[in-house]
Amino acid sequence: MLVLVAPGQGAQTPGFLTPWLGLPGAADRVAAWSQAIGLDLAHYGTNADADEIRDTAVAQPLLVAAGLLAASALGSRAAFGAVAGHSVGEITAAAYAGVISETEALSFVRTRGLAMADAAAVTATGMAAVLGGDRDVVVAHLEKLGLTPANINGAGQVVAAGTMEQLDALAQDKPEGSMKVVALKVAGAFHTHHMAPAVAELETAAKALDPADPELVYVSNKDGHVVTSGADVVARLVGQVANPVRWDLCMERFAELGVTGIVELSPGGTLTGLAKRALKGVPGVALKTPDDLEKAAALIAGHAA
């Protein structure tokens, strides 16, 4: 079974949208989305520097737009048995599974990005990945420092979130057995209590959505559960911003479902990297540019044979 996954914030790099705009109809679609949400996606995805696209209000719509373009370029959804997204990637996954429309996805993620940026502005916060070490030991150490294990990603990676002072303390006092601590390209302590103010705004935004039940197996990063109700998917998208991401449980669910291949939407690399370590032997393709579509097509064809 093939699984389609969508990456979260921090995967963006300057100019990453540029090659995708060369696909037939892509520039027109992005222009329409930009007009609908009041954000020049083409500009930020092609000409903006790293600091500009680190802005939560910009990065999140960019990631969803890129993911949707890549998903469309893959062709029929029939090739995939399940779909999941990491953090903001869940909105891309929800659109791909038919829970919400592409326009609804861009509108919702625009609200999400703005609300989370406002929440992040209250206190100087951030996130850092702890690489290596026993998960329980790492989590206990983070909690001792007042940090939240905001992303438990599996494959020896736990992402800590909290104030900059708490993150500085972590850099000076790594958990026992861990190899290093790497600051992430995000502008806030996402998936923690620091994001609670954004939940209320998303609850209001969710009322404008008209969700349908997923047309694919939809795996939630809240707990790795398969969600069959569109209304439940949306409720999880709302609460997700202030709750930890359990990507480790998603990968465990993929294994239970019998995953035999993974395709990661643009800007791919992070999730296929985690899967390479946690789901050994399962082939994966990361869509970084349209040049990678040929490799994805080969993987899909191999499953169809």
Torsion of CA 189, 286, 269, 153, to 10 degrees: 60
pTM tops 0.85: yes
Q: For residue range 288-300, what is the model confidence (pLDDT) as tens digits?
A: 999 999 999 999 9
Verify that 163 and 83 share a domain, yes or no: no
Q: Is 132 exposed, middle or buried (0-12, 13-18, 19+ CB in 10 A)?
A: middle
The total number of structural domains in the chain stands at 2
Of 146, 166, 183, the one marking the end of a domain is 183
* Residue 129 structural domain: 125-183
Verify that 16 and 163 share a domain, yes or no: no
Verify that 201 and 82 share a domain, yes or no: yes
Verify that 151 and 289 share a domain, yes or no: no
Q: For residue range 201-255, what is the model confidence (pLDDT) as tens digits?
A: 999 999 999 999 999 999 999 999 999 999 999 999 999 999 999 999 999 999 9
Verify that 202 and 104 share a domain, yes or no: yes
Residue 141: give its domain's CATH number. Answer: 3.30.70.250
DSSP state for residue 126 in the 8-state scheme: E
Q: In which element (H, E) is residue 142 found?
A: helix 135-144
Q: Which residues are catalytic?
A: 87, 191
